[in-house]
Chain A
Amino acid sequence: MGIPLIEMINEYKIYIMGNEQVYANDNINLKIYSGEFVAIVGKSGSGKSTLMNIIGALDKPTSGKYILNGRDTSTMTDDELAEIRNKTIGFIFQQYNLLPKLTLLENVELPLLYAGVKASERRNKALKSLARVGLKEKYSQYPNQLSGGQQQRVSIARALAGNPSLLLADEPTGALDSKTSREVLNFLKQLHSEGNTIVMITHDNAIALEAKRVVRIHDGKIIFDGDTEEYATKFQTSH
């Protein structure tokens, strides 16, 4: 298996709320290897969003280590985290998070722009990425001219543009109807089969079952970590 892409060692994230300490992440130990398709599942308030923020290098653990691609993020500066996000992670958000005033092409170009890629190369890569999600022809349109499913595909194209080591999807189907959700999930599966590493955050067991491995979070702790079949038998009732 080699070196894990993601490694969390005794990771804690503690928030101070008034006089109380809230353990959003409570001693998380987790390894995810290149090529995996992992669903992190939990109810709202379980700490899964906190975990996703730390995996996505949007936040730093209070204590413990988070090693991404061999680099410890816990001591990094804001700008170093930005660089890690830019080079290593492709984000797919529930709300797509496309910039409404930019064209699809410009949206997809953004991570490449921040990576300092030259204009012509940026355009080429962004167009290729748009082609992968089947929206190349619409490159000059604006996000509000597209359906929700199409917008999510653009955000996937944006996540893929920089060829990141990890695709991090936060409730990728949360804002979509069941038919488009299906399409998006199939697309993620396809990306996985092409060798991409995918971590998907969801509250929905049914969605989690689409992954190969499931990590269940409850009260900030990992209460299950195993393959999907095992998870399905164990948590059938709660679904």
Chain B
Amino acid sequence: MLQSFKLAIKAILSNKIRSLLTMLGIIIGVAAVIILVSIVAGYMGEMVKQFEEMGVNKISVFCRNMSTRRMNDSDMYNFWDEHPEWLDGLSPNVSLNNAVIKSGSENLDSTSIIGVSEDYLDIEKYTIEEGRGLVYADVVSRSSVCVVGSYVANTFYGSPDKAVSDSIKINGKPFTIIGVIETQDEDNFEEGGTDDFIWIPYTVATKMSRNGYINNYVLISSDTSYTNDITNELKKKLYDVFKNERLYNVTANSSIIKQLNEQIGTLTAMLAGIAGISLLVAGIGVMNIMLVSVTERTREIGIRKALGARQGVIMQQFVIEAAVTSTIGGIIGIVIGALATKSIGAMMEINANPTIWAVLLSFGVSVAIGLIFGYLPAKSAAKLNPIDALRTD
């Protein structure tokens, strides 16, 4: 056995260029598997992370309210009362799309304005930089107060502390700025960006909206394990109201993440499969070279057999040679794949690490390729008739 390994390494070294070319297929195949799988995993991991930042406990409800069939804020709060342990927060989400917003004489054309409840700050996981957030009293008393994003505060009032207590006009009505939210996204700090928004009590927003309906709600579950129960119960409740599944929709972030993870799995397996085909081709390359090697070494095989080498010994020698060749190729491929993954990941600004299972799998596959594709040539070598083998030059 040890002797076979020594012989294999000798044979590989005695034909360096050919061995390298044989390995090249395996190197490329293994590196491709590792790079593809790791980059996709890294990229998808990034996406999942983004979703998680948005809150795994978040559940969004959309309903198309009509005059006869509608879901009110009170219905939603009743739902919370029925299942107090399920939820940590609830907020209607009323967008005012055509509101005219003015700070002094300046128009804020791109600023988004939504009506929310006092829970919304926690739901979004934002923090107040200056002043205070909305409170229950603001909502029930329909106060003309608002919380603004840091872009609004900095651009139109100079700084967050100057903005607080100042006012802003929405559809001609003055609103007192009671708080400023910390900057969320430095890279996107511009007109229409992440930090260009105004929150007002949803009760006020509903009054200002054209039909006074609340079509969107955001809920926060106290634990992701409740997600299914909450989603199902809400759907039941909504069906009772709307009698038509197309008029409402309940989406849980955690189930999106779950779906996303499943899709990642499928995609990764598919890509690994495609890269795997290159490994198959590489395996055929190994077989090809080993067959040539057997033909070239017919005389050597004949001598060995004449001196008493049994079929198994000859077989072992060639299988091990093929396995060692493809294993060395596999190891080189793993190193190249890992390095390439790191540098491509850095270029794409994602945290891509060669996944352990991709490394183990491709290593295993490259060893297996050597064994499987080395088998046929080794078999033909072992079967050689020593007389015929000795006769060749």
User: Cβ of A12 < 8 Å from any Cβ of B?
Assistant: no
Q: Contact string, A143-180, partner B, CB cutoff 8 A, digits 1/0?
A: 00000000000000010000000000000000000000
A47 to chain B, nearest CB (A): 14
Q: Contact string, A64-82, partner B, CB cutoff 8 A, digits 1/0?
A: 0000000000000011001
User: 18 A-B residue contacts at CB 8 Å?
Assistant: A58-B387, A58-B390, A78-B310, A78-B311, A79-B311, A82-B305, A83-B308, A83-B310, A85-B306, A85-B307, A86-B308, A91-B307, A97-B390, A99-B303, A101-B14, A110-B307, A114-B304, A115-B308
Q: Assuming A79-B312, A101-B10, is B387 touching A114 (CB within 8 A)?
A: no
Where chain A touches its partner, the secondary structure class is helix
What is the size, in residues, of chain A's interface with B at 8 Å between Cβ atoms? 23
Instruction: Report B-chain residues with C-beta under 8 Å of the C-beta of A87.
Output: 308
Q: Contact string, B377-393, partner A, CB cutoff 8 A, digits 1/0?
A: 00000000011001000
Task: State which residues 101-124 of A face B: CB under 8 Å.
Answer: 101, 110-111, 113-115
Q: Assuming A99-B300, A101-B10, A114-B313, is B307 touching A93 (CB within 8 A)?
A: no
Instruction: Report A-chain residues with C-beta under 8 Å of the C-beta of B311.
Output: 78-79, 82
Expressed in whole angstroms, the Cα–Cα distance for A82 and B310 within the complex equals 6
User: Cβ of A53 < 8 Å from any Cβ of B?
Assistant: yes
CB-based A-B contact count at 8 angstroms: 54
B328 to chain A, nearest CB (A): 19
User: Cβ of A56 < 8 Å from any Cβ of B?
Assistant: yes
User: Cβ of B74 < 8 Å from any Cβ of A?
Assistant: no
User: Cβ of A59 < 8 Å from any Cβ of B?
Assistant: yes
B81 to chain A, nearest CB (A): 84
Expressed in whole angstroms, the Cα–Cα distance for A115 and B307 within the complex equals 9
Chain A to chain B: the 6 pairs with minimum beta-carbon distance, closest first: A86-B308, A114-B308, A79-B310, A111-B307, A97-B303, A82-B310
Expressed in whole angstroms, the Cα–Cα distance for A192 and B14 within the complex equals 40
B361 to chain A, nearest CB (A): 35
B interface residues, Cβ below 8 angstroms from A: 3, 10-11, 14, 299-300, 302-313, 386-387, 390
Expressed in whole angstroms, the Cα–Cα distance for A17 and B3 within the complex equals 41
A120 to chain B, nearest CB (A): 14
Instruction: Report B-chain residues with C-beta under 8 Å of the C-beta of A115.
Output: 308
Whether B310 pairs with A110 at a CB distance below 8 angstroms is no
Instruction: Report B-chain residues with C-beta under 8 Å of the C-beta of A53.
Output: 387
Instruction: Report A-chain residues with C-beta under 8 Å of the C-beta of B302.
Output: 97
A166 to chain B, nearest CB (A): 13
Instruction: Report B-chain residues with C-beta under 8 Å of the C-beta of A97.
Output: 299, 302-303, 306, 390
Instruction: Report B-chain residues with C-beta under 8 Å of the C-beta of A82.
Output: 305, 308-311
Instruction: Report B-chain residues with C-beta under 8 Å of the C-beta of A93.
Output: 390
Instruction: Report B-chain residues with C-beta under 8 Å of the C-beta of A86.
Output: 307-309
Expressed in whole angstroms, the Cα–Cα distance for A99 and B276 within the complex equals 38
Instruction: Report A-chain residues with C-beta under 8 Å of the C-beta of B304.
Output: 99, 110, 114
Among B10, B306, B307, which residue has the most Cβ atoms of chain A within 10 A? Answer: B307
Expressed in whole angstroms, the Cα–Cα distance for A99 and B387 within the complex equals 16
Whether A113 pairs with B3 at a CB distance below 8 angstroms is yes
Expressed in whole angstroms, the Cα–Cα distance for A82 and B308 within the complex equals 4
Instruction: Report B-chain residues with C-beta under 8 Å of the C-beta of A111.
Output: 307-308
Among A56, A83, A114, which residue has the most Cβ atoms of chain B within 10 A? Answer: A114
Instruction: Report A-chain residues with C-beta under 8 Å of the C-beta of B300.
Output: 99
Expressed in whole angstroms, the Cα–Cα distance for A99 and B304 within the complex equals 9
Expressed in whole angstroms, the Cα–Cα distance for A98 and B311 within the complex equals 20
New contact pairs (11) apart from A79-B312, A101-B14, CB-CB < 8 Å = A58-B386, A58-B390, A82-B310, A86-B309, A91-B306, A97-B303, A98-B303, A99-B300, A101-B11, A110-B304, A158-B307
Closest residue of B by beta carbon distance from A168: B306
Instruction: Report A-chain residues with C-beta under 8 Å of the C-beta of B3.
Output: 113
B317 to chain A, nearest CB (A): 11
Instruction: Report A-chain residues with C-beta under 8 Å of the C-beta of B307.
Output: 85-86, 91, 110-111, 114, 158
B301 to chain A, nearest CB (A): 10
Closest residue of B by beta carbon distance from A155: B303
Closest residue of A by beta carbon distance from B309: A114
Instruction: Report B-chain residues with C-beta under 8 Å of the C-beta of A78.
Output: 310-311
A83 to chain B, nearest CB (A): 7
Expressed in whole angstroms, the Cα–Cα distance for A97 and B300 within the complex equals 8
A45 to chain B, nearest CB (A): 15
Expressed in whole angstroms, the Cα–Cα distance for A93 and B386 within the complex equals 13
Expressed in whole angstroms, the Cα–Cα distance for A98 and B300 within the complex equals 9
Expressed in whole angstroms, the Cα–Cα distance for A91 and B306 within the complex equals 8
